[in-house]
Amino acid sequence: MTPFIKSMTTFQYHPDIISNYPHLVGGVILATGLTNSPTSAELQADYTAEQEAVKAQIGDTPLSELPSLNAWRRAIAAFGVSPTKYRSAAEALLRRLTKKGDIPNINTLVDIGNLISIRYGLPVAILDSQQVQGTVTVGYSDGTETYTELGSDEVIHPEVGEVVFADENKMVVARRWCWRQSRSSAAGPNTTNVIITIEAQHENALLDVGKAVEDITQLLEKYAGGSFTSAILGANQTSI
């Protein structure tokens, strides 16, 4: 097999993922020098306003009918996982918002990611890049990778054939593609460098991901500082 890891690559899609999901668009931001402080009053106001706007926009529309979420349901089902048992991170957030009325604060980086996630109905992952080894690859699990859930010390293994984000030590930082991050990769008070992904597979994926990357970069500059580089990945460019 021809090697697919490029020199200095930080994040990439395995060729099998690109082949099997030809409509995939992944916006990836590499950010350094961030300050992940507790959520400020100004960010809280922005986040609250976004939640109210999204609730009004969705109204009584079932979440399964939103094009971005429906596309992720199909993608998750394609590798043998129930998309209603393991909902995409975006659908889980919107489900919380529409059923309970709000989404609680975590910290600056997580709240910014969640704000953009509900705005576009897309899964946003913010990975602490200091906790991963080498390149993070989105690919199919062989079942030997390791994963630790948030709030747990137990090391478990993903299912064979499941789409995961994994580093070069086979540590999984996200399971079932866009379902849930690992404990180690979550952005915490000491996080300064991150890999941010915003992924889509619906008809307007390219437009929405491009806008989402712009929006989240502006919020990061305003509330967390730092320096950024970004790329839109897919069939024409598979890594950054």
What are the pLDDT digits (tens) for 219-240? 999 999 999 999 999 999 999 9
**pLDDT of 160 higher than 90:** yes
Pairing outcome for strands 136-140 and 11-13: parallel
The domains of the chain, with CATH numbers, are 16-233 (3.50.40.10)
Q: Which of 34, 43, 11, 8 is nearest to 227 (CA)?
A: 34
Distances (CA, A) of 43 to 107, 112, 222: 10, 8, 9
CB within 8 Å of 82: residues ≥ 6 apart: 76
At 54-84, the pLDDT tens digits run 999 999 999 999 999 999 999 999 999 999 9
Alpha helices in 7-153 (DSSP H): 15-20, 41-58, 67-78, 89-100, 108-120
pLDDT band per the 50, 70, 90 thresholds, residue 7: very low
Whole-model pTM: value is 0.94
